[in-house]
Amino acid sequence: MVSPAIALAFLPLLFTLIIRYRYYFVLFYRAVLVRVVQDFLTGLSREERAFQYVLTHATPGNPDSILDAFDHWCSKVEFISNIGPKKGLVLDRLLRENSPLNVLELGTHCGYSAIRIARSLTIGARLYSVEMDKSNALVAEKAIRLAGFDDDMVELIVSTSEEVIPKLKEEYGVERLDFVFMDHWKRCYLPDLQLLEGSGLLSEGTIILADNVIFPGAPNFLRYVKRSGLYKCHMHRASLEYIRGIKDGMAELIYLGAK
């Protein structure tokens, strides 16, 4: 049994750890504990609960209203790892400045970033959004259509990224990707980037924006793009979406062409 004296000696260390990592405790509480309790109480997934809120608080056909509802729910109710409003401004700017025609999104989740991308696309542009989780894809489909985007602008593909990327040319008629947004499993960032290179879908000037490369992090991906010589890389430093105090960042890559 631990003596009271030894226990008291560890209290300063405990308080120091709590203070230092308080934002991670907040994230664990909001992203894990609240989710488990609400899953049990409601019988719905977190993504379904988010969509229910959006459905009752947003204006159909108004992408801005739907994004605002998502942002409010994710910041005040439960945590979902969307790109969020602050880092979303970087995505908005890149789309506005480059006017891509063929855009690939890896990781649709509940449809937030797909809506954010689609609202910035020019006439005739098309977004191919890939989501491997069928239940999340159902929620995303409803959210995207609620925002007013049809199949001609946003095509939702329910499959894994490693299965879709090699088929984009033959089955979907995509000859070149102008813009790629990565926000799926971080361990897939590097193999999927290499799949894109091998498929011939990247050409000089293609932009790749990868979220959450600092937290949870994609170190192998960052190491590769910096050493490969195939990309011009710029890091956008930021905080984790909806949780202040946790450092994160997005990697903006410009493909320089095959050597």
Residues with catalytic annotation? 183, 186, 211-212, 241
Q: Per-residue DSSP letters for 177-211? A: -SEEEE-S-GGGHHHHHHHHHHHT---TT-EEEE-
Please report where in the chains the tokens 């195939």 appear, as a residue. 230
Any idea of the CA torsion for 147, 115, 34, 25, to the nearest 10 degrees?
A: -150
Angle at which helices 63-76 and 84-98 cross, to 10°: 150
Rg (alpha carbons) of the chain, rounded to whole number: 20
DSSP state letter for 109: T
Q: Is 158 helix (H, G, I), strand (E, B) or coil?
A: strand
For 135, residues 6+ apart whose C-beta sits below 8 A from its C-beta are: 45, 47, 48
Is 31 in a helix, a strand, or coil?
Answer: helix
